[in-house]
C-alpha cells in the first residue's frame, strides 16, 4: 500500500471516530452537562406531565427510556416541551410523543403563520 493510501485510510479512520464522538455527545448530552445546571437537565413538568399520566408509565419499558432521554437528560429535545414552551401547554396534542420533534416543528410553524 502506498503512502497516499495509508494516509487516506488514517484520515478516514479519524474522521469516523470524530463523527462517532459527535453523535454520542449530541444524542446523550446529559453525560456532558455540568451538574451545576440541573434546570437544563431535569424537566420541571416531569411529575405532572400528561404524557405519563395518560399514555404510559414512566418507570418501565418505553416510558422509562423516554424519561431518561428527554425528561432527565435534556428537556429541550422533548417535542412536548418544545410545543408547550412556544405555544403553551394547552396546545400540546395528547398523542405527541417526546421523540416527535418534526411533528412539533410542524405544529409550531402552523401556529406562527
Better pLDDT: 46 or 17: 46
pTM (2 decimals)?
Answer: 0.61
Whether the predicted pLDDT of 107 surpasses 90: yes
Please tell me the predicted confidence (pLDDT) of residue 48. Answer: 84
Q: How far is CA 14 from CA 6, 7, 11, 65, 105, in A?
A: 12, 11, 5, 31, 34
For residue 56, which phi and psi values (nearest 5 degrees)?
-155, 155
Instruction: Compute the distance between CA of residue 76 and CA of residue 93 in angstroms, rounded to an integer.
Output: 17
pLDDT per position as a tens digit, 31-83:
555 444 555 578 888 888 888 777 677 777 888 888 888 888 888 899 999 99
Percentage of the chain exceeding pLDDT 90: 23
Please tell me the predicted confidence (pLDDT) of residue 36. Answer: 45
| Lowest-pLDDT range of 4-8, 88-92, 106-110 | 4-8
For residue 24, which phi and psi values (nearest 5 degrees)?
-65, -45
Separation of CA 16 from chain center: 22
Instruction: Compute the distance between CA of residue 16 and CA of residue 22 in angstroms, rounded to an integer.
Output: 10
In sequence order, what E strands does the chain have?
none
Please tell me the predicted confidence (pLDDT) of residue 90. Answer: 92
Longest dimension (CA), the chain: 64
Please tell me the predicted confidence (pLDDT) of residue 71. Answer: 87
Instruction: Compute the distance between CA of residue 20 and CA of residue 13 in angstroms, rounded to an integer.
Output: 11
- Show me where the domains of the chain are located: 1-32, 36-111
Amino acid at each position: 500500500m502506498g503512502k497516499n493510501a495509508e494516509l487516506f485510510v488514517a484520515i478516514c479512520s479519524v474522521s469516523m471516530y470524530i463523527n462517532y464522538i459527535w453523535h454520542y455527545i449530541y444524542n446523550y448530552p446529559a453525560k456532558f452537562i455540568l451538574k451545576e445546571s440541573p434546570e437544563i437537565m431535569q424537566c420541571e413538568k416531569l411529575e405532572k406531565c400528561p404524557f405519563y399520566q395518560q399514555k404510559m408509565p414512566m418507570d418501565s419499558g418505553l416510558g422509562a427510556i423516554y424519561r431518561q432521554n428527554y425528561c432527565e437528560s435534556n428537556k429541550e429535545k422533548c417535542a412536548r416541551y418544545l410545543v408547550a414552551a412556544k405555544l403553551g401547554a394547552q396546545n400540546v396534542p395528547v398523542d405527541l410523543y417526546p421523540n416527535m420533534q418534526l411533528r412539533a416543528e410542524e405544529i409550531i410553524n402552523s401556529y406562527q403563520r
